[in-house]
Amino acid sequence: MASTKAKRTWLVIGILVVVGGLWVTALAISAFSEGFSGGYAAGGGEFEEVLLEEGDSTNKIAMVNVIGEIFSDPEGGAMGASDHNIINQLEQAEEDPDVVGIILNVDSPGGGVLASDAIYNKVTEIAEDLPVVALMGETAASGGYYISAGATEIIAHRFTWTGSIGVIATIPNFTEAAGKLGIGMTVVKSGALKDLGSPFRDMTEEERALFQALIDEAYNGFVEIVAEGRDLPEAQVRELADGRIYSGLQAEELDLVDRLGDRETAFDRAKRLADDEDASLVVYQPIPGLFDTLPFLGFTSPAEEIKEELGISRKPGASYLWIP
C-alpha cells in the first residue's frame, strides 16, 4: 500500500515538473523571439510574391495590402498593417526592376499619426518614379485616406466608407467609478502638468487647451496633405474635413477620389499608367516565421484585455483614426 501511495506521489510530482518545465520553456521561447526584434515571431519582415493574374510580359503590378488598423512597429515584430510591414513591401516593389506599378489596397479605419505619415511619405516617394493606384475597400477612413492621398490615383467602390479627415485622442476618466469603489490615487509630481491626462481626476481647461493645440497641429498637417495630394484649395478641404465619413460615390463628387471601381479597375489603371497593358498582377504575403504557429506567443495580458474592453488605446497619443 505504501509503495502504491509513494508511486502516486512521485507521479504527481513528475507531472508538475513537466508542466512547469513546459511553461518556463514557453516563456523563454517567447522572450527569445521578441529579443530578435520580432524576426522569428513575424518572419523577419520578409514577404513572398504570389501571382494573382498572369500577363504576357515580364513586367508586374505589385499589390500591397493595408488591412486593419495602422500602427507603428519600429522593431518589425508584429504582423498586420504596421508601418514596418507596409514600407517593407513598398520597398520590395520599388527595388524589383520588373515592377512597373503598385496598387495600394486599403481597407482600414486608419490608426497612429506617425505610422500613417511614415507610410504616406514612402508612397509619395515611390509615386515620383512609379504609378501608385490606391484602391479603397470597405473602409479607407482617416489614416486610411491619409496614406491614399499620396497615390497617383485613388479608386473607391461606390459603397466604400472613406474621409473622416481629422484627428482624435481618447482620454479615459475613471473618477466616478473610482469614487464608487473607494479607490484614490496619490500623485507626487515635479510640475503642475506632469500628470496631464490622468484618468483619476477631471481635466482642467488649461489641460484641455494643451491637448487641443496638439490635435490642431496634427489636423493642420492632415489638411495640407489632402490639399496637396488632391490639388484642392485648403479652404475647400477644411470644409470637408470635419471628421465625417463619405461614401465612395460622395467622395468622387467631392474630388476626394478619382474614380469608382474594383480591383480590376485598379489593375487596368495601373497598367495604363505604367504603359504596359500586358503586365502581371502579384501580391506580397508574409513568410511565416519559426514561432508564428505557437499559441502561447499570442498571449494577451489581463491589463491589455481590460483596456481593450474599455476602448482605451494601448498607448496615449493622437490618431488619424475613425472611431464610431
Of 295, 298, 314, give the one whose Cα is nearest residue 306: 314
Residue with cell 502504491: 4
List 7, 57, 189, 194, catalytic entry: 194
Element (H, E) at 102: strand 99-108
Any idea which of 1-5, 45-49, 125-129, 216-220 has the lowest mean pLDDT? Answer: 1-5
Q: Where are the domains of the chain?
A: 37-321
Q: Which of 33, 72, 82, 142 is catalytic?
A: 142
Instruction: Please give the average per-residue pLDDT across 265-292, as a whole number.
Output: 88
pLDDT confidence band for 66 (50 / 70 / 90): very high
Q: Apex CA 122: angle with CA 117 and CA 125, to 5°?
A: 125
- What is the C-alpha separation between 234 and 45, in angstroms, rounded? 38
pTM above 0.85, yes or no: no
Examine the residue annotation and report whether 313 is marked as an active-site residue of this protein. Answer: no
User: Residue 319 catalytic?
Assistant: no
Q: Which band of pLDDT confidence, cut at 50, 70 and 90, is reported for residue 298?
A: very low
Taking only the tens place, the pLDDT of each residue in 178-197 is 777 888 788 898 998 898 88
280 — pLDDT class (breaks 50, 70, 90): very high
**What's the CATH architecture for 37-321?**
Alpha-Beta Complex (3.90)
pLDDT at 243 over 50: yes
Amino acid identity at 237: V
Please choose, from the candidates 160, 116, 114, the residue with its C-alpha nearest in 3D space to the C-alpha of residue 136: 160
